[in-house]
Amino acid sequence: MMQFACLIDASAKYGNVGSRCHVCGTSQLRQQFLVPLLDGPHRPNKRAQDRKIYRCDLCGHLSADLYDLSQYANYYESLSTDYHYCHDFDRSRYQQILDNIPKQSVRRVLDIGCGTGTFLAMLPPDVERFGIEPARAATSSARARGVEVVEYVDLMKPELRNTFDLVTAIDVIEHIADLQHFRQHVIAALRPGGMVVLLTGNTASRSARLLGSHWSYLHYAEHVSFFSPQSMRVWLHPTFSNIELTSTNHHQLNSKEALTLLRIWLLFPGKWIFRKLFPVRLNMYTALSLPGDHMLVRAICN
């Protein structure tokens, strides 16, 4: 495990992550890892080979440097629908969300990062479906599935503000650097007593702690915010209550599928080989999340 313990020099180039923790606001950040930079908006930049991951001493949250808001925004906006179809090859993650929501009381749902609307399409037909999605190509597919695609600013309008029974963000929050901005919009969307459900990586999971800087989840340049149950609770406090954090898998694989993935993993320990062999949108690397390295978060908006 590559580990450092130097306080960040405030003058160091630090992108938009800033010199403060985006969860708790402290400036007590230490460089924790130096990891290879794969995928995402930095792909065309041959000089960007690795990045630093910082740990907050107070809440344990991990954040990545090299975050340029405009660069990331352009990247997400230009993604093709292949990106989402590739991520949708296994719908078990959506099913586990469905299994964890009170369906009887959910009539109006907002899915942040809705992609082509796959999750929303799995909801009962009488549910009102809304989505936020930066990828332009995906929004037309989502609309074709009956999703009303809105923008963040729309959530402040009277017709949408505090009207949603459920807000979901499935594999989304790890892509977001400005977590307070994101939090404000989740709160703006939810009605009092409404539920937020998140699926994201868990830095305190056994897999993540065992692998340290080799945990593949840290290597995606798209991922910039890494939660533990502790930092998630800090982020949700004090607006949310009844917080439930459940350790889970990104993909609910059966044993045969798990064995196949393990074989692939063992055959290709050098992940850069994948980068050479597969274009990013067909990258099987996405399937290589590890058992228990995610968490499912449920909380009620007060």
Rule CB under 5 A: which residues touch Zn ion? Answer: 21, 23-24, 56, 58-59, 61
Produce one character per residue of 78-88: b if its CB has 16 or more CB atoms within 10 Å, e if not: ebebebbebbe
Q: In angstroms, give the least distance from the CB of 123 to Zn ion.
A: 34
CB nearer Zn ion, residue 58 or residue 98: 58
Nearest to 294 by CA among 223, 203, 209, 222: 203
Q: In angstroms, give the least distance from the CB of 59 to Zn ion.
A: 3
C-alpha 164/C-alpha 195 separation (Å) is: 8
C-alpha 119/C-alpha 95 separation (Å) is: 8
CB nearer Zn ion, residue 59 or residue 245: 59
Q: In angstroms, give the least distance from the CB of 17 to Zn ion.
A: 12
Q: In angstroms, give the least distance from the CB of 116 to Zn ion.
A: 34
CB nearer Zn ion, residue 24 or residue 204: 24
Q: In angstroms, give the least distance from the CB of 180 to Zn ion.
A: 12
CB nearer Zn ion, residue 61 or residue 294: 61
CB nearer Zn ion, residue 58 or residue 127: 58
